[in-house]
Chains A and B, each alone.
Chain A
Amino acid sequence: MEIPLIGSLDFLSVQSLISSFFPDWMAYLIAGVLLSFMVINAMVISTALYTWFERRVIGRFHSRLGPNRWGPFGLFQPLADVVKLMTKEDTVPESADRMVFNVAPVILLTSTLLVVSVIPFGDNTFLGRLNVGAIFIIGITSVNTIAILAAGWASRNKYAMLGAMRGVAMLVSYEVPMALGITGVVLMVGSLSLYDIVLLQEIPFWIVQPMGFLVFMAAASAEMSRTPFDQIEAESELGAGYHTEYSGMKFAIFQLAEFMAPVVTAIVATVLFFGGDRGWDPVPGQIWFISKVFLIIFLLLWVRATWPRLRIDQIMAFAWKGLFLMSLINIFAVSLEIILLQDPVTGLLEPNDLWVMSAINWVITIATIACMVKIFGKRKWDRPMPKKSPLANMYAEGD
C-alpha cells in the first residue's frame, strides 16, 4: 500500500492536469516551471534545515550546544545567517575576472540542484523519469569541477587558486571510482533508470555489495569535499579554499551549494544503496525516504566530526590505488556472480540469489581490504622503540 503524501507529483500527471486548461506546449512549460520551482524551494529549505541540523549535531559531538538562541531550539538560525549574508557588502577583488567571478557560484548551485531532477522520491513523486538517470548524475556532478576552477581562477587569490587546483585534481580523480561504484548497482539491475534501481532493490544494495557502497560513499564525500577529503577548502591551510574572496550573497550561494551537496549525496545514496522509498507499511514511502536520508547524513556528520583530513597526494593515491582497485574488484565479482546466479531464461535475480551474493561479497570485501592494507600499507603502524640518543646524558656528574 502506498499512501501518496504530496499526491501524484510526477511530470506527466501534472502536465495532463494542466493541459485541460491550456494548449499543450503551454502546459508543458507551466508544469516544468511549477515543478522546478517546488523542487528548488524544497531543496533550499531542506538545506537550511540541514545546516541547523549539522551545526547542532556537530556541536553535540564537540560537547557543545550548537545554535539554540534564535527561535525554538535555534531553528531560525539559518534565517539569521541568510539575512546577515545578504546585508553584507558584496566585494569583488579589483583584479578579478568579474564575469567568471559572478557566474561561478551559479554554476555550482545549478549543477548540484540538477541532480535532484531525476530522483524518485516516492513511487509517484518525481520530477523526471529519465531512463539514463545514473549517467545523468555522474555527468552533472562533474560540472562542479568547472565551477570550482572558475571561482578559484577568477578570484586572483593564491589561496583560492591552490584550492581550485587541488579541487580539479581531486574531483576528476574521484569521478572514476564513483562511476565505477554506481556501475556495480547498474549491473545488478540491468537498467540505468533510478526508478528501476529502486524497484528491483528487494534487499538494500549496501548489504549485497558493501564494497560498492564503501567506494561510492568515499568517492561521494570526496566529491563534496568533506572530511577526510576536504582538501579543497582545508580551512586550516587555505583559509577557505576556492571561495576565499567571495562575500555577501555570492558566498551565500556557495555555502548553499556546499551544504546542499551532502543532502543530495545522501539522497542519491538512498536511491542507489538503501532502496529509496522502500520500507514496511503502513509508513508511507516518502517518510522512509526522508529517514534514510537522515541516517546517511548523520553518518556523514559522524565521520566529519571524528576524522582528520588526508594530504592531497595521499587522497589521490587513495583514489587511484585504493578505490579504483576496489571498485574494479567489486564489478568483477558482481558480474561473475550475476552470470552464475541469474535465471538462465528470464535473466532475473531472485531474493535468495541476492542473499547468496551478499554473503560472498562481504567475504570478498573484508579480504580485499585486509590484502590492500597489507600490500599498500608499506608504513609500519607500530612505533619503533625509543632509543636514548648518545649525545646527552643528564645524569652525568661532569668531570
Chain B
Amino acid sequence: MYGVGLAKGLGVTMKNLIKPDRMFTVHQYPDRKIGLLGLAKMSNRNPVSYLLAQPKMAVKALAGLASVEDRMPQHSRFRGEEFSWYEERCTGCASCAKYCPLGIIRIVTHPSGQMMQEGDKYILDVFDIDMGRCMFCGLCVEACPYDALHMGSGFEEGKYSRKDLVIDKQRLNESPKRPSTWFRPQIENKGFDPQSDSVLKWSEAGRHEKPDVAHQEEKWVKR
C-alpha cells in the first residue's frame, strides 16, 4: 500500500544489479570477455606487474577486447552427441536398433565363421546412427548388453546438411572415446570424467571383465 510495494520492487532489482553473485549468465560459450583484473588473476599476478609483463594483452583487456575460452561445466552423466562406440565390444546383436524408439540405428552383419565354440562371431558391415533424428533418450545405451555403445559427451556436432548428421561406423570408430557415465555405473565408479581430455579404452568400459576360462567352465561346462 502507499507505494511501499513499488519501492520494495525497486530495491530488489537494485540488489540484483549490484551483487555480482546474482549473475545469470556466468558462462559464455565459446569465449568470454575478460578485464585486466581477471587476466591478472588468471596468471596469478597483481594487475600492475601483469601490465608490465604483457602490455599488449593488458591494453586489450582494458579496452574490453580480450577474451578467454569459456565453457559450461557439464556433469559426467550429460547425454550428448557422437556416441562412444567400441567395435571391440560390439557383437552386432542389434539390441540398440531394436530398442530405439525412432529406429534410427541401422546394423548389418554377417557371420564370420570364427570362434564357433563361443557361438559364432558376427562381423559388422554397417553401423550407422542418424543423429538428425536422434532425441538422446539413451534407450539404446540402456539396451546394450555388452557395454559397447555409450552416450557421448559433446554438443558441438552441428552440420550444414542433414546427410552429414548420419554417423557411420568409420566415424564412430574415429571419434574420441569419451563416454558419458549415463547408465554406466562402472565408469562412474572409476571416476572417469568425460569432460576432461582423458580417453577410455574399450577394455575399461565394460561392467565386468572378460571371464577367465576357469570361471567359464564352472558356469557352463559343469552344468
Q: Do A and B have CB atoms closer than 8 angstroms in the complex?
A: yes
Interface residues of A (CB under 8 A from B): 57, 60-65, 68-69, 71-74, 302-303, 305-307, 369-370, 373, 377, 381
CB pair A307 B9 closer than 8 Å:
yes
Q: Which of chain B's residues has its CB closest to A366's CB?
A: B2
Q: Which residues of the other chain, A, contact B6 by a CB distance below 8 angstroms?
A: 306-307
Are B9 and A64 in contact (CB-based, < 8 A)? no
Q: How far is the CB of B219 from chain A (nearest CB, A)?
A: 55
Q: Is the CB of A369 within 8 A of B13?
A: no
Let me know if B33 is at the binding interface, CB within 8 A: yes
B153-170 vs A, Cβ < 8 Å mask (1 yes, 0 no): 000000000000000000
How far is B19's CA from A60's CA once the two chains are assembled, in angstroms? 10
Are the C-beta atoms of B28 and A63 separated by less than 8 Å? no
Which residues of chain A come closer than 8 Å to B9, judged between CB atoms?
Answer: 306-307
Instruction: Kindly provide the distance from the CB of B5 to the nearest chain A CB, expressed in whole angstroms.
Output: 8
A72 touches B65 (CB 8 A): yes
**Bound CA span A377–B63, Å:** 52
B13-50: CB near A (< 8 Å → 1, else 0) gives 11011000011110010000100000000000000000
Determine which residue in A63, A64, A307, A381 has the highest number of CB atoms from chain B within 10 A of its CB, and name it.
A63
State whether the Cβ of B52 lies closer than 8 Å to any Cβ in chain A: no
**Interface range on chain B: under 10, 10 to 19, 20 to 34, or 35 or more?**
20 to 34
Pair B25/A65 contact, Cβ less than 8 Å: yes
User: Given the complex, which residues of A lie within 8 Å of B24, measured CB to CB?
Assistant: 62-64
Across the interface, B1 reaches (CB within 8 A) one of A62, A69, A307, A381, namely: A381
Which residue on chain A has the smallest CB distance to residue B21?
A63
A-B contact pairs, 5 of them (CB 8 A): A73-B64, A302-B14, A305-B13, A373-B1, A373-B3
For residue B63, which residues in chain A have a CB less than 8 angstroms away from its CB? 72
* Interfacial chain B residues near A65, Cβ < 8 Å: 23, 25, 28
A90 to chain B, nearest CB (A): 30
B10 interface residue per 8 A CB criterion? yes
Partner of B25, one of A64, A73, A74: A64
Question: Closest CB of chain A to B63's CB: distance in Å?
Answer: 5
- Contact between chains at B2 and A61 (CB < 8 Å): no
A61 touching B64, Cβ below 8 Å? no
Assess the A63–B64 pair: CB atoms within 8 A.
no
Q: Smallest Cβ distance from A42 to chain B, in angstroms?
A: 24
Q: How far is the CA of A71 from the CA of B13 in the complex (A)?
A: 28
In the complex where A61-B13, A63-B16, A306-B9 touch, is A72 in contact with B64 (Cβ < 8 A)? yes
Closest chain A CB from B38 CB (angstroms): 13
- CB neighbors of A among B111-167 (8 A): none
For A59, the closest partner residue in chain B by CB is B25
Provide the residues of chain B in CB contact with A62, threshold 8 Å. Answer: 16, 24
Q: A63-B23, A302-B10, A381-B1 are in contact. List 6 more A-B contacts (CB 8 A).
A: A63-B22, A68-B64, A72-B64, A73-B64, A306-B12, A307-B6
Q: Quick one: given A72-B63, A303-B10, A306-B10, are A61 and B17 in contact (CB under 8 Å)?
A: yes
